[in-house]
């Protein structure tokens, strides 16, 4: 059978305001504002070991809130991922000793997303492309590619490729005084890395190399 699941969601609101309560006093009647929003999630089992997830404007309304944490050192708190789109087969995005090259909670307000996880060509693979906002409210395109393979029974080798592209316009401009400015901002950031894990007996050795 075809392993396919499609889930739709919709949220709507209607706000009616009595205009007579606002100045000037001759305003009468009711003012209506409507807001409709819909989303779509698709889960496709391409093979028994490879799954494709696609989402458009996902609905995260049923996700429970994060527990309160007190931060006294000023460092960024690590919050566990609770959104279903990121949690599906998420173990491949984790590093055994707690390193987090990719932290999905920095992605807000997802517009579209595509995710491929599973096993292919004798190794675990994961690919992720998401269009959404970052913590600063800028529209960004996030991309992650991760592989993990067992060289021997005790040795595991993983590779990373992470990219973030700013979708907002970063064009050259001239101000009102006629002064020309050349935007030199780098609108794309890359991270490439390798993780190696070796476990002989009760010992565990990890190596991380990121650029």
pLDDT digits (tens, 9 = 90+) for 100-158: 788 888 888 888 999 999 988 888 999 999 998 887 778 889 999 999 998 888 899 99
For every residue of 144-160, DSSP letters joined together read EEEEEEESSSSEEEEEE
Q: Which of 64-68, 168-172, 189-193 has the highest mean pLDDT?
A: 189-193
CA 119 to each of CA 57, 79, 155: distance values in angstroms, whole numbers, following the listed order: 27, 27, 18
Q: State yes or no: pLDDT of 31 exceeds 90.
A: no
Q: Three-state SS for 42?
A: strand
Q: What does the pLDDT read at residue 183? A: 61
**Contact between residue 52 and residue 115 where contact means Cβ atoms under 8 Å apart:** yes
Cβ(78)–Cβ(103) under 8 Å? Answer: yes
């Amino acid at each position: 059978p075809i392993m396919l699941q499609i889930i739709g969601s919709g949220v709507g609101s209607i706000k009616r305001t009595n205009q007579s309560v606002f100045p000037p006093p001759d305003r009468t009647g009711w003012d209506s504002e409507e807001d409709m929003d819909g989303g779509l999630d698709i889960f496709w089992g391409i093979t028994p070991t490879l799954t494709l997830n696609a989402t458009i404007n996902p609905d995260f309304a049923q996700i429970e809130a994060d527990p309160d944490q007190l931060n006294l050192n000023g460092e960024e708190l690590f919050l566990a991922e609770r959104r279903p789109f990121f949690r599906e087969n998420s173990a491949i995005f984790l590093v055994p000793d707690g390193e987090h090259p990719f932290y999905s909670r920095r992605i807000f307000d997802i517009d579209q997303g595509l995710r491929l996880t599973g096993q292919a060509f004798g190794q675990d693979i994961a690919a992720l492309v998401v269009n959404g906002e970052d913590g600063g409210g800028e529209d960004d395109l996030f991309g992650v590619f991760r592989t993990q393979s067992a060289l021997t029974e005790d040795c595991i080798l993983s590779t990373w490729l992470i990219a973030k592209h700013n979708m907002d316009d970063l064009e050259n401009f001239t101000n009102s005084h006629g002064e020309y400015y050349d935007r030199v901002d780098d609108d794309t950031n890359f991270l490439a890395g390798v993780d190696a894990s070796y476990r002989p007996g009760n010992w565990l050795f990890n190596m991380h190399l990121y650029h």
